């Protein structure tokens, strides 16, 4: 049987950091295959982080990331490492150094990122499921663009030891599959069964989020909204952000940028990596974020968290579009995508 690199017709898997690991002989995921975003450490191998300069300036890992090990211990077989946007600092899926994985469900359009290879591999049925990460949408966006399911759990629920960080207070592990049943099956391994499953009682329709969505995106969501109505009754329309969602986004962008520079600024300054379009400008902007920018953003973040707790009390489910539109065309200028 051909290996994954021979069968990979969509450019989802990394050749420069390729690794395969057998899973346990038995377990809840026995017989399944998975790919791993190239930010998770594999013992004895380098982690590429989507950057040739990162690869050249870092040593091989001394241990396998616990999240990967849990999947192996559950019987799943790792077949390879998947491409990521450079430093995971993009939602587009286009890497200037390693190319853009093909979105098989929309070949002329981007797969989304930064977990681009993982989403593309699952969409192309090269693996049963794949591990990614999500800081500001890096599982949710490619799942949406590639027409598959993606899960970003609560921040901190999955240990991120042995994982290249972007912005630690937002980083979360996540995963992809082509059906919801497998999303849950993998989740039981990664999250455990120690918490009772929440029972939703009603759902909220985020009017201000839907107002930002294109007609095409809104139309695509109508069948799902109909199924929710059948399950939970008519929604309660709500305005999520009284000050406007763009203001919430700016809070996130500021705090993320500050954390990116705190984490990687020394390496960027010392190595002067050849960063690709879009990522280069984001990193440069991150270097300009000051303490005076961060202080009010942190305060506003606390207000945002309180608002979300208020909305999601009493078994509520908040429903909003993952993204404002369908997948953009490949080679769209980065400035337009931002």
Cα–Cα distance for residue pair 119/145, rounded to 1 Å? 9
- Rounded mean pLDDT of 160-164? 99
| CB contact set of 270 (below 8 Å; sequence gap of 6+) | none
pLDDT digits (tens, 9 = 90+) for 286-324: 999 999 999 999 999 999 999 999 999 999 999 999 999
Per-residue pLDDT, 9: 97
- Name the average pLDDT for the chain: 97
The residues assigned a catalytic role are 37, 114, 138
Residue 106 in this model has a pLDDT that exceeds 80: yes
Cβ–Cβ < 8 Å for 84, 180: no
Residue 233 in this model has a pLDDT that exceeds 80: yes
Measured on CA atoms in the order 29, 80, 119, 107, is the torsion positive or negative?
A: negative
Give the pLDDT band (50/70/90) at residue 1: low
- Rounded mean pLDDT of 244-255? 98
Q: At what angle do helices 180-191 and 66-73 cross, to 10 degrees?
A: 110
Cβ–Cβ < 8 Å for 12, 33: no
Residue 36 in this model has a pLDDT that exceeds 70: yes
Question: Where are the chain's structural domains?
Answer: 4-191
pLDDT digits (tens, 9 = 90+) for 166-222: 999 999 999 999 999 999 999 999 999 777 777 899 999 999 999 999 999 999 999
Per-residue pLDDT, 104: 99
The CATH classification number of 4-191 equals 3.90.1300.10
Give the pLDDT band (50/70/90) at residue 156: very high
Bridge partners (DSSP) listed for residue 80: 35
Phi and psi at residue 258, in whole multiples of 5°? -60, -40
| CB contact set of 318 (below 8 Å; sequence gap of 6+) | 203, 204, 206, 238, 240, 308, 311, 312
Per-residue pLDDT, 243: 93
């Amino acid at each position: 049987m051909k290996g994954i690199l021979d069968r990979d017709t969509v450019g989802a898997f990394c050749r420069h950091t390729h690794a395969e690991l057998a899973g346990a002989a038995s377990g809840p995921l026995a017989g399944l295959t998975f790919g791993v975003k190239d930010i998770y450490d594999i013992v004895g191998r380098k982690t590429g982080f989507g950057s040739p300069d990162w690869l050249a300036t870092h040593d091989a890992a001394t241990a396998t990331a616990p999240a990967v090990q849990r999947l192996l211990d559950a019987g799943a077989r790792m077949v390879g490492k998947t491409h990521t946007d450079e430093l995971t600092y993009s939602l587009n899926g286009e890497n200037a150094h390693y190319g853009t994985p093909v979105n098989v469900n929309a070949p002329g359009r981007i797969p989304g990122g930064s977990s681009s290879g993982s989403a593309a591999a699952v969409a192309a049925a090269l693996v049963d499921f794949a591990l990614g990460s999500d800081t500001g949408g890096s599982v949710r966006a490619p799942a949406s663009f590639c027409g598959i399911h993606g899960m970003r759990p609560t921040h901190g629920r999955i240990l991120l030891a042995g994982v290249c960080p972007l912005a630690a207070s937002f980083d979360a592990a996540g995963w992809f599959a082509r059906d919801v049943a497998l999303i849950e099956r993998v989740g039981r391994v990664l999250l455990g069964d120690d918490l009772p499953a929440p029972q939703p009682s009603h759902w909220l329709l985020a009017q201000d989020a839907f107002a930002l969505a294109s007609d095409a995106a809104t139309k695509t969501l109508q069948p799902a909204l109909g199924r929710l109505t059948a399950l939970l009754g008519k929604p309660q329309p709500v305005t999520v952000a009284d000050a406007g969602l763009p203001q919430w986004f700016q809070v996130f962008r500021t705090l993320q940028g500050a954390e990116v520079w705190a984490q990687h600024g020394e390496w960027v300054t010392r190595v002067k990596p050849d960063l690709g379009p879009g990522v280069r400008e984001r990193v440069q902007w991150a270097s300009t974020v000051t303490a005076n920018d961060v202080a009010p953003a942190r305060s506003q973040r606390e207000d945002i968290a309180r608002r979300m707790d208020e909305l999601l009390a009493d078994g509520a489910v908040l429903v909003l579009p993952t993204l404002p539109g369908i997948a953009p065309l490949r080679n769209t200028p980065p400035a337009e995508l931002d």
